[in-house]
């Protein structure tokens, strides 16, 4: 059975997030706010289909995808770019590639017990977020 990402996940750590914000040209004032946010992930997974919400007191971001199907992602409220996004599986890991203006952009997500790990990368920068299952 593939990994089950369903549920609500509360951020417990967010290492090097500001490096990512800089790499995607987020302005100083927004970085100062964004880097101190606690994020919550809400994921509804049905087989290969995912509906995801990343929530915070400042901004929310929703993106839905199906494994293996490329789509145009608009990073609305984040860096407001358009990227061509594909999410695939590598075992139980989800591997996302976001083709666009910024090289080597994407993320990897996996589970370890009741923790969800998300590694976000852009250029040579890597951020590691950990979330704990809450519901
Ligand atoms: C989503 C962060 C930050 C601009 C505001 C910060 C608001 C809360 O796509 C993502 O996750 C996947 C995998 O879990 C969803 O399916 C990452 C957060 C990206 C980029 C850019 C800062 C402005 C933080 C939305």
Site residues for ligand 1, CB cut-off 6 Å: 21, 26, 30, 34, 37, 39, 41, 52, 54, 56, 58-61, 63, 78-79, 107, 109, 118
- Of all protein residues, whose CA lies closest to atom 3 belonging to ligand 1? 78
Say how far apart CA 66 and CA 19 lie, in whole Å. Answer: 28
**What pLDDT score was predicted for residue 135?**
72
More confident residue, 3 or 23: 23
- Of all protein residues, whose CA lies closest to atom 2 belonging to ligand 1? 78
CB of 104 closer than 8 Å to CB of 98: no
Q: Would the CA dihedral through 39, 110, 119, 6 be positive or negative? A: negative
Is 90 exceeded by the pLDDT of residue 1?
no
Mean pLDDT value of segment 46-60: 97
Is 90 exceeded by the pLDDT of residue 74?
yes
What ipTM does the predicted assembly reach? 0.97
Say how far apart CA 13 and CA 22 lie, in whole Å. Answer: 19
pTM above 0.90, yes or no: yes
The secondary structure of 28-47 as a DSSP string is: HHHHHHHTTPPPEEEEEEET
Under DSSP, is residue 17 helix (H, G, I), strand (E, B) or coil?
helix
Q: What is the mean pLDDT of the chain?
A: 97
């Amino acid at each position: 059975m593939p990994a089950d990402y369903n549920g609500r996940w509360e951020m417990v750590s967010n290492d090097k997030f500001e490096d990512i914000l800089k790499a995607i040209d987020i302005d100083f004032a927004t970085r100062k706010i964004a880097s101190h946010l606690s994020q919550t992930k809400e994921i509804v997974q049905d087989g290969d289909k995912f509906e995801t919400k990343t929530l915070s007191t400042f901004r929310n971001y929703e993106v839905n995808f199906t494994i293996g199907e490329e789509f145009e992602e608009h990073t609305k409220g984040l860096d407001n770019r358009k990227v061509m996004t594909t999410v695939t599986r590598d075992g139980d890991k989800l591997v996302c590639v976001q083709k666009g203006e910024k090289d080597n952009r994407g993320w990897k997500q996996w589970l370890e017990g009741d923790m969800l790990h998300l590694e976000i990368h852009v250029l040579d920068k890597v951020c590691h977020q950990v979330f704990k299952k809450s519901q």
